[in-house]
Amino acid sequence: MNDVIGELTPPQRLMLTPGPSCMDPRVYRALAAPLVGHVDPWFTEMMSDVQILLRRVFQTKNRITFPISASGSGGIEAAVMNPLEAGEECIVCVNGAFSERMAIIAERIPAKVTRVEAPLGRTVDPQDVLRAGKGRKIKFVGLAHGETSTGVVQRIDDYRKVADELGALLVVDTVATLAGIPLDVDGQRIDICFSGTQKAISAPPGMAPITVNARVEELMRARKEPVRSWYFDLTPTMSYWGQERTYHHTPPISLIYALREALRLVLEEGLDARCERHARNQQAMIAGLEAMGVMPLVSNPADRLVTVTAVKIPEGIDDGKVRQQLLNEFNIEISGGFGALKGKIWRVGLMGYSSQKGNVLLFLAALEKTLLDQGLRVSAGAGVAAAIHSYQQATQPAVAGAKK
Protein backbone atom coordinates (compact mmCIF):
# COMPACT_ATOMS: atom_id res chain seq x y z
CA MET A 1 0.00 0.00 0.00
CA ASN A 2 1.25 3.47 -0.91
CA ASP A 3 -1.11 5.33 1.40
CA VAL A 4 0.80 7.24 4.07
CA ILE A 5 -0.82 8.14 7.37
CA GLY A 6 0.08 11.75 8.12
CA GLU A 7 1.32 13.41 11.27
CA LEU A 8 -1.22 13.66 14.09
CA THR A 9 -2.78 17.15 14.18
CA PRO A 10 -5.78 17.24 16.54
CA PRO A 11 -8.07 20.28 16.28
CA GLN A 12 -7.88 22.99 18.94
CA ARG A 13 -11.16 22.62 20.84
CA LEU A 14 -12.64 24.62 23.67
CA MET A 15 -13.63 21.71 25.89
CA LEU A 16 -16.81 22.58 27.76
CA THR A 17 -17.80 18.97 28.28
CA PRO A 18 -18.35 17.04 31.54
CA GLY A 19 -14.77 15.89 30.98
CA PRO A 20 -12.08 16.15 29.92
CA SER A 21 -11.38 19.84 30.43
CA CYS A 22 -8.79 22.01 28.72
CA MET A 23 -5.28 21.98 30.19
CA ASP A 24 -2.92 24.76 31.21
CA PRO A 25 0.17 25.10 28.94
CA ARG A 26 2.33 24.16 31.94
CA VAL A 27 0.61 20.77 32.07
CA TYR A 28 1.32 20.22 28.35
CA ARG A 29 4.97 21.04 28.97
CA ALA A 30 5.11 18.48 31.78
CA LEU A 31 3.64 15.86 29.44
CA ALA A 32 6.50 16.45 27.02
CA ALA A 33 9.23 15.87 29.63
CA PRO A 34 11.64 12.97 28.95
CA LEU A 35 10.53 9.50 29.99
CA VAL A 36 12.40 7.66 32.72
CA GLY A 37 11.77 4.17 34.04
CA HIS A 38 9.02 3.61 36.57
CA VAL A 39 11.54 2.20 39.08
CA ASP A 40 14.17 4.86 38.32
CA PRO A 41 15.27 6.44 41.64
CA TRP A 42 14.42 9.91 40.32
CA PHE A 43 10.90 8.83 39.39
CA THR A 44 10.21 6.95 42.62
CA GLU A 45 11.28 10.03 44.57
CA MET A 46 9.05 12.23 42.41
CA MET A 47 6.10 9.96 43.21
CA SER A 48 6.29 11.26 46.78
CA ASP A 49 5.71 14.80 45.46
CA VAL A 50 2.50 13.64 43.80
CA GLN A 51 1.26 12.02 47.00
CA ILE A 52 2.02 15.11 49.08
CA LEU A 53 0.17 17.31 46.58
CA LEU A 54 -2.79 14.93 46.43
CA ARG A 55 -3.10 14.89 50.22
CA ARG A 56 -3.22 18.68 50.23
CA VAL A 57 -5.91 18.78 47.55
CA PHE A 58 -7.99 16.03 49.20
CA GLN A 59 -7.26 17.73 52.56
CA THR A 60 -6.22 14.51 54.25
CA LYS A 61 -3.35 12.91 56.13
CA ASN A 62 -4.27 9.41 54.94
CA ARG A 63 -1.27 7.16 54.30
CA ILE A 64 -2.97 5.46 51.35
CA THR A 65 -3.31 8.35 48.92
CA PHE A 66 -2.19 7.93 45.31
CA PRO A 67 -3.42 7.98 41.71
CA ILE A 68 -4.72 4.64 40.42
CA SER A 69 -3.62 3.99 36.82
CA ALA A 70 -7.16 3.99 35.46
CA SER A 71 -10.07 6.23 34.57
CA GLY A 72 -12.57 7.46 37.15
CA SER A 73 -14.54 4.25 36.62
CA GLY A 74 -11.47 2.37 37.84
CA GLY A 75 -11.68 4.51 40.95
CA ILE A 76 -15.26 3.36 41.48
CA GLU A 77 -14.20 -0.26 41.15
CA ALA A 78 -11.34 0.07 43.62
CA ALA A 79 -13.45 1.97 46.13
CA VAL A 80 -16.20 -0.66 46.05
CA MET A 81 -14.21 -3.89 45.79
CA ASN A 82 -11.64 -3.26 48.52
CA PRO A 83 -13.94 -2.86 51.54
CA LEU A 84 -16.81 -5.07 50.37
CA GLU A 85 -16.87 -8.88 50.44
CA ALA A 86 -19.29 -11.36 48.91
CA GLY A 87 -22.62 -11.47 50.74
CA GLU A 88 -22.11 -8.21 52.65
CA GLU A 89 -24.64 -5.40 52.40
CA CYS A 90 -24.22 -1.86 51.15
CA ILE A 91 -26.44 1.07 50.24
CA VAL A 92 -25.82 3.13 47.11
CA CYS A 93 -27.50 6.50 46.57
CA VAL A 94 -28.55 6.39 42.93
CA ASN A 95 -29.54 9.58 41.11
CA GLY A 96 -27.84 9.12 37.77
CA ALA A 97 -25.64 6.94 35.59
CA PHE A 98 -22.41 7.11 37.57
CA SER A 99 -23.90 6.44 40.99
CA GLU A 100 -25.73 3.55 39.32
CA ARG A 101 -22.35 2.25 38.16
CA MET A 102 -21.25 1.98 41.80
CA ALA A 103 -24.24 -0.26 42.52
CA ILE A 104 -23.58 -2.45 39.46
CA ILE A 105 -19.96 -3.03 40.50
CA ALA A 106 -21.03 -4.00 44.03
CA GLU A 107 -23.55 -6.50 42.66
CA ARG A 108 -20.79 -8.25 40.70
CA ILE A 109 -18.80 -9.05 43.86
CA PRO A 110 -21.57 -10.30 44.57
CA ALA A 111 -22.84 -8.19 47.45
CA LYS A 112 -26.33 -7.37 48.63
CA VAL A 113 -26.99 -3.92 47.23
CA THR A 114 -29.83 -1.61 48.19
CA ARG A 115 -30.39 1.26 45.80
CA VAL A 116 -31.94 4.35 47.36
CA GLU A 117 -33.04 6.34 44.35
CA ALA A 118 -34.08 9.89 43.49
CA PRO A 119 -35.65 11.26 40.30
CA LEU A 120 -33.15 12.53 37.73
CA GLY A 121 -32.17 16.08 38.65
CA ARG A 122 -32.75 15.56 42.38
CA THR A 123 -30.64 14.59 45.40
CA VAL A 124 -31.20 11.38 47.34
CA ASP A 125 -32.99 11.98 50.65
CA PRO A 126 -30.61 11.01 53.49
CA GLN A 127 -33.58 9.96 55.61
CA ASP A 128 -34.55 7.44 52.91
CA VAL A 129 -31.04 6.03 53.22
CA LEU A 130 -31.39 5.79 56.99
CA ARG A 131 -34.74 4.01 56.74
CA ALA A 132 -33.33 1.57 54.17
CA GLY A 133 -30.44 0.60 56.47
CA LYS A 134 -32.14 0.45 59.87
CA GLY A 135 -31.72 -2.88 61.62
CA ARG A 136 -29.24 -4.20 59.06
CA LYS A 137 -25.47 -4.60 59.00
CA ILE A 138 -24.46 -2.13 56.29
CA LYS A 139 -20.80 -2.13 55.21
CA PHE A 140 -20.88 1.19 53.40
CA VAL A 141 -23.04 4.00 52.12
CA GLY A 142 -21.89 5.10 48.69
CA LEU A 143 -22.74 8.20 46.69
CA ALA A 144 -21.59 10.53 43.94
CA HIS A 145 -20.75 13.96 45.34
CA GLY A 146 -21.33 15.33 41.84
CA GLU A 147 -23.51 13.30 39.45
CA THR A 148 -22.37 14.50 36.03
CA SER A 149 -25.13 12.72 34.11
CA THR A 150 -27.72 15.05 35.70
CA GLY A 151 -25.73 18.00 37.05
CA VAL A 152 -26.63 17.36 40.71
CA VAL A 153 -24.42 17.90 43.78
CA GLN A 154 -25.11 16.17 47.11
CA ARG A 155 -24.19 17.39 50.59
CA ILE A 156 -21.67 14.93 52.01
CA ASP A 157 -22.22 15.88 55.66
CA ASP A 158 -25.85 14.68 55.56
CA TYR A 159 -24.79 11.20 54.47
CA ARG A 160 -21.92 11.07 56.98
CA LYS A 161 -24.48 11.45 59.77
CA VAL A 162 -26.56 8.63 58.31
CA ALA A 163 -23.52 6.37 57.87
CA ASP A 164 -22.60 7.00 61.51
CA GLU A 165 -26.07 5.94 62.65
CA LEU A 166 -25.79 2.76 60.59
CA GLY A 167 -22.21 2.04 61.67
CA ALA A 168 -21.17 2.12 58.01
CA LEU A 169 -18.28 3.44 55.97
CA LEU A 170 -18.85 6.43 53.71
CA VAL A 171 -17.62 6.03 50.12
CA VAL A 172 -17.70 9.18 47.99
CA ASP A 173 -17.19 9.66 44.26
CA THR A 174 -15.61 13.10 43.75
CA VAL A 175 -14.63 12.62 40.10
CA ALA A 176 -16.43 15.82 39.09
CA THR A 177 -15.88 17.85 42.25
CA LEU A 178 -12.30 17.54 43.56
CA ALA A 179 -10.51 20.91 43.15
CA GLY A 180 -13.70 22.59 41.96
CA ILE A 181 -16.12 22.35 44.90
CA PRO A 182 -15.21 22.53 48.62
CA LEU A 183 -14.13 19.10 49.89
CA ASP A 184 -12.33 18.18 53.11
CA VAL A 185 -11.79 14.42 53.37
CA ASP A 186 -10.56 14.43 56.96
CA GLY A 187 -12.88 17.20 58.16
CA GLN A 188 -15.92 15.51 56.61
CA ARG A 189 -14.73 12.06 57.75
CA ILE A 190 -14.95 10.37 54.36
CA ASP A 191 -13.62 6.82 54.63
CA ILE A 192 -12.92 6.23 50.93
CA CYS A 193 -12.76 9.10 48.46
CA PHE A 194 -11.80 8.84 44.82
CA SER A 195 -11.70 11.20 41.87
CA GLY A 196 -10.54 11.66 38.28
CA THR A 197 -7.72 13.77 36.93
CA GLN A 198 -9.37 15.14 33.78
CA LYS A 199 -12.05 17.36 35.27
CA ALA A 200 -11.53 20.19 37.77
CA ILE A 201 -7.87 19.21 38.24
CA SER A 202 -7.32 19.70 34.47
CA ALA A 203 -4.79 16.94 33.95
CA PRO A 204 -5.05 14.29 31.20
CA PRO A 205 -7.57 11.45 31.58
CA GLY A 206 -6.27 8.08 32.72
CA MET A 207 -5.74 8.37 36.48
CA ALA A 208 -8.09 8.06 39.45
CA PRO A 209 -6.72 9.62 42.64
CA ILE A 210 -7.92 7.74 45.71
CA THR A 211 -7.50 8.10 49.46
CA VAL A 212 -8.58 5.69 52.20
CA ASN A 213 -8.34 6.17 55.95
CA ALA A 214 -6.91 3.98 58.70
CA ARG A 215 -10.32 2.45 59.45
CA VAL A 216 -10.49 1.10 55.91
CA GLU A 217 -6.87 -0.11 56.04
CA GLU A 218 -7.78 -2.20 59.09
CA LEU A 219 -10.83 -3.66 57.34
CA MET A 220 -8.74 -4.53 54.29
CA ARG A 221 -6.23 -6.40 56.45
CA ALA A 222 -9.08 -8.33 58.10
CA ARG A 223 -10.70 -9.50 54.84
CA LYS A 224 -11.75 -13.17 54.78
CA GLU A 225 -10.90 -13.54 51.10
CA PRO A 226 -8.74 -11.59 48.64
CA VAL A 227 -10.13 -8.68 46.68
CA ARG A 228 -11.68 -10.18 43.55
CA SER A 229 -9.76 -7.85 41.27
CA TRP A 230 -5.98 -8.29 41.15
CA TYR A 231 -5.41 -4.95 39.43
CA PHE A 232 -7.62 -2.87 41.73
CA ASP A 233 -6.53 -4.49 44.99
CA LEU A 234 -5.14 -1.47 46.84
CA THR A 235 -2.79 -3.40 49.13
CA PRO A 236 -0.18 -4.46 46.53
CA THR A 237 -0.63 -1.24 44.58
CA MET A 238 0.18 0.73 47.72
CA SER A 239 3.37 -1.30 48.07
CA TYR A 240 4.47 0.45 44.88
CA TRP A 241 3.27 3.85 46.05
CA GLY A 242 4.43 3.18 49.63
CA GLN A 243 7.92 3.31 51.07
CA GLU A 244 8.83 -0.05 49.53
CA ARG A 245 8.25 1.09 45.90
CA THR A 246 7.77 -2.61 45.06
CA TYR A 247 6.92 -3.16 41.39
CA HIS A 248 3.21 -3.75 40.74
CA HIS A 249 2.54 -2.47 37.22
CA THR A 250 3.97 0.08 34.80
CA PRO A 251 2.22 3.36 35.58
CA PRO A 252 1.51 6.09 32.98
CA ILE A 253 4.72 8.01 33.62
CA SER A 254 3.95 11.04 31.45
CA LEU A 255 0.45 11.33 32.90
CA ILE A 256 1.93 11.38 36.39
CA TYR A 257 4.28 14.20 35.34
CA ALA A 258 1.23 16.12 34.11
CA LEU A 259 -0.76 15.39 37.26
CA ARG A 260 2.08 16.72 39.42
CA GLU A 261 2.07 20.02 37.53
CA ALA A 262 -1.74 20.26 37.51
CA LEU A 263 -1.84 19.75 41.29
CA ARG A 264 0.81 22.45 41.72
CA LEU A 265 -1.42 24.82 39.75
CA VAL A 266 -4.41 23.96 41.96
CA LEU A 267 -2.49 24.77 45.12
CA GLU A 268 -0.88 27.91 43.67
CA GLU A 269 -4.35 29.28 43.03
CA GLY A 270 -5.60 28.07 46.41
CA LEU A 271 -8.49 25.70 46.98
CA ASP A 272 -10.85 28.40 48.27
CA ALA A 273 -10.10 30.79 45.41
CA ARG A 274 -10.44 27.99 42.88
CA CYS A 275 -13.84 26.93 44.22
CA GLU A 276 -15.01 30.56 44.23
CA ARG A 277 -13.92 30.91 40.59
CA HIS A 278 -15.88 27.83 39.58
CA ALA A 279 -19.00 29.05 41.39
CA ARG A 280 -18.75 32.58 39.94
CA ASN A 281 -18.40 31.36 36.36
CA GLN A 282 -21.28 28.91 36.63
CA GLN A 283 -23.52 31.56 38.15
CA ALA A 284 -22.77 33.89 35.23
CA MET A 285 -23.36 31.16 32.67
CA ILE A 286 -26.72 30.20 34.18
CA ALA A 287 -27.78 33.84 34.25
CA GLY A 288 -26.93 34.06 30.55
CA LEU A 289 -28.70 30.82 29.66
CA GLU A 290 -31.85 31.80 31.51
CA ALA A 291 -31.87 35.17 29.75
CA MET A 292 -32.02 33.21 26.48
CA GLY A 293 -34.81 30.99 27.76
CA VAL A 294 -32.58 27.96 28.30
CA MET A 295 -33.37 26.60 31.75
CA PRO A 296 -31.35 24.35 34.11
CA LEU A 297 -32.55 20.79 34.65
CA VAL A 298 -31.94 21.10 38.40
CA SER A 299 -34.57 23.49 39.74
CA ASN A 300 -33.07 24.03 43.20
CA PRO A 301 -29.91 26.19 42.88
CA ALA A 302 -28.43 24.59 46.01
CA ASP A 303 -28.54 21.18 44.30
CA ARG A 304 -26.75 22.27 41.11
CA LEU A 305 -23.34 20.81 40.44
CA VAL A 306 -21.02 23.78 39.94
CA THR A 307 -18.64 22.03 37.58
CA VAL A 308 -21.20 20.50 35.18
CA THR A 309 -24.49 22.22 34.37
CA ALA A 310 -27.37 20.24 32.87
CA VAL A 311 -29.74 22.44 30.87
CA LYS A 312 -33.01 21.56 29.18
CA ILE A 313 -33.01 21.67 25.39
CA PRO A 314 -35.70 24.14 24.26
CA GLU A 315 -38.71 22.63 22.57
CA GLY A 316 -38.27 22.25 18.81
CA ILE A 317 -34.46 22.47 18.95
CA ASP A 318 -32.40 19.57 17.59
CA ASP A 319 -29.79 18.45 20.12
CA GLY A 320 -27.29 17.06 17.63
CA LYS A 321 -27.50 19.98 15.19
CA VAL A 322 -26.76 22.52 17.90
CA ARG A 323 -23.77 20.61 19.25
CA GLN A 324 -22.44 20.01 15.75
CA GLN A 325 -22.73 23.69 14.81
CA LEU A 326 -20.97 24.75 18.01
CA LEU A 327 -18.17 22.36 17.11
CA ASN A 328 -17.91 23.22 13.42
CA GLU A 329 -18.34 26.98 13.65
CA PHE A 330 -16.84 27.85 17.03
CA ASN A 331 -14.67 24.83 17.98
CA ILE A 332 -16.70 24.51 21.19
CA GLU A 333 -17.55 21.03 22.43
CA ILE A 334 -20.41 20.40 24.86
CA SER A 335 -22.15 17.11 25.62
CA GLY A 336 -25.68 15.80 25.38
CA GLY A 337 -27.60 13.64 27.79
CA PHE A 338 -27.74 9.86 27.71
CA GLY A 339 -30.13 7.18 28.85
CA ALA A 340 -33.49 8.65 29.82
CA LEU A 341 -32.14 12.17 29.23
CA LYS A 342 -30.79 11.61 25.71
CA GLY A 343 -31.97 14.44 23.45
CA LYS A 344 -33.47 16.28 26.44
CA ILE A 345 -30.49 18.06 28.00
CA TRP A 346 -27.10 19.52 27.22
CA ARG A 347 -24.32 19.12 29.74
CA VAL A 348 -21.89 22.02 29.89
CA GLY A 349 -18.67 21.67 31.85
CA LEU A 350 -16.86 24.61 33.39
CA MET A 351 -13.98 22.86 35.10
CA GLY A 352 -10.42 23.69 35.97
CA TYR A 353 -8.63 25.54 33.17
CA SER A 354 -11.86 25.64 31.10
CA SER A 355 -13.66 27.63 33.79
CA GLN A 356 -12.81 31.14 32.63
CA LYS A 357 -14.86 34.30 32.16
CA GLY A 358 -13.88 34.60 28.51
CA ASN A 359 -15.01 31.05 27.82
CA VAL A 360 -18.39 31.71 29.44
CA LEU A 361 -19.03 34.79 27.34
CA LEU A 362 -17.83 33.11 24.13
CA PHE A 363 -20.05 30.09 24.74
CA LEU A 364 -23.13 32.21 25.41
CA ALA A 365 -22.57 34.26 22.25
CA ALA A 366 -21.97 31.12 20.19
CA LEU A 367 -25.05 29.38 21.59
CA GLU A 368 -27.21 32.44 20.91
CA LYS A 369 -26.14 32.51 17.28
CA THR A 370 -26.68 28.76 16.94
CA LEU A 371 -30.15 28.88 18.50
CA LEU A 372 -31.12 31.77 16.23
CA ASP A 373 -29.99 29.69 13.25
CA GLN A 374 -32.18 26.87 14.55
CA GLY A 375 -35.19 29.18 14.62
CA LEU A 376 -35.47 29.93 18.33
CA ARG A 377 -36.49 33.47 19.23
CA VAL A 378 -33.70 34.89 21.37
CA SER A 379 -33.30 38.51 22.38
CA ALA A 380 -30.06 39.66 20.76
CA GLY A 381 -27.21 39.88 23.25
CA ALA A 382 -29.40 38.95 26.22
CA GLY A 383 -27.26 36.03 27.34
CA VAL A 384 -23.94 37.85 27.30
CA ALA A 385 -25.49 40.93 28.93
CA ALA A 386 -26.94 38.86 31.78
CA ALA A 387 -23.63 37.11 32.34
CA ILE A 388 -21.73 40.42 32.43
CA HIS A 389 -24.24 41.74 34.95
CA SER A 390 -23.70 38.62 37.07
CA TYR A 391 -19.93 39.17 37.03
CA GLN A 392 -20.39 42.81 37.98
CA GLN A 393 -22.63 41.88 40.89
CA ALA A 394 -20.09 39.29 42.07
CA THR A 395 -17.24 41.83 42.16
CA GLN A 396 -19.10 44.72 43.78
CA PRO A 397 -17.89 45.38 47.35
CA ALA A 398 -20.41 44.90 50.13
CA VAL A 399 -21.99 48.11 51.46
CA ALA A 400 -21.09 48.75 55.09
CA GLY A 401 -24.05 48.18 57.40
CA ALA A 402 -26.15 46.51 54.71
CA LYS A 403 -28.47 43.73 55.81
CA LYS A 404 -27.34 40.22 54.90
Rg (CA), the chain: 22
In a domain, 110, yes or no: yes
In a domain, 86, yes or no: yes
In a domain, 8, yes or no: no
Same domain, 203 and 253: yes
| Backbone CA torsion sign across 219, 224, 230, 235 | positive
The string of pLDDT tens digits covering residues 115-151 is 999 999 999 999 999 999 999 999 999 999 999 999 9
Mean pLDDT, to the nearest integer, of 325-348?
Answer: 97
Would the pLDDT of 1 be above 70? no
The string of pLDDT tens digits covering residues 19-37 is 999 999 999 999 999 999 9
Same domain, 205 and 318: no
In a domain, 1, yes or no: no
Mean pLDDT, to the nearest integer, of 305-322?
Answer: 97
pLDDT tier for residue 371 given thresholds of 50, 70 and 90: very high
**So what's the pLDDT on residue 401?**
40
**CA 384 – CA 287 distance, rounded (Å):** 9
Would the pLDDT of 281 be above 70? yes
Count: domains in the chain: 2
pLDDT tier for residue 243 given thresholds of 50, 70 and 90: confident
Mean pLDDT, to the nearest integer, of 44-71?
Answer: 96
**So what's the pLDDT on residue 73?**
95
pLDDT tier for residue 400 given thresholds of 50, 70 and 90: very low
Same domain, 211 and 246: yes
Indicate the average pLDDT of the chain: 95
In a domain, 19, yes or no: no
Same domain, 97 and 205: yes
Answer whether 319's CB lies under 8 Å from 346's CB. Answer: yes
**CA 155 – CA 174 distance, rounded (Å):** 12
Same domain, 102 and 129: yes
Q: State phi, psi for 39 to the nearest 5 degrees.
A: -115, 10
Chain centre to alpha carbon of residue 378: 32
* 267, 288, 307 - which closes a domain: 267
The string of pLDDT tens digits covering residues 189-231 is 999 999 999 999 999 999 999 999 999 999 999 999 999 999 9
Same domain, 140 and 192: yes
**So what's the pLDDT on residue 397?**
64
Mean pLDDT, to the nearest integer, of 238-244?
Answer: 81
In a domain, 10, yes or no: no
**So what's the pLDDT on residue 3?**
81
Q: Which of 68-77, 237-246, 251-260 has the lowest mean pLDDT?
A: 237-246
Mean pLDDT, to the nearest integer, of 62-77?
Answer: 96
**CA 37 – CA 40 distance, rounded (Å):** 5
Q: State phi, psi for 254 to the nearest 5 degrees.
A: -65, -35
**CA 29 – CA 41 distance, rounded (Å):** 22
pLDDT tier for residue 399 given thresholds of 50, 70 and 90: very low
Q: What is the pTM (predicted TM-score) of this model?
A: 0.95
Same domain, 275 and 263: no
Same domain, 241 and 284: no
- Domain hosting 97: range is 25-267
Same domain, 247 and 296: no
**So what's the pLDDT on residue 238?**
79
Same domain, 294 and 244: no
Share of the chain above pLDDT 90, in %: 91
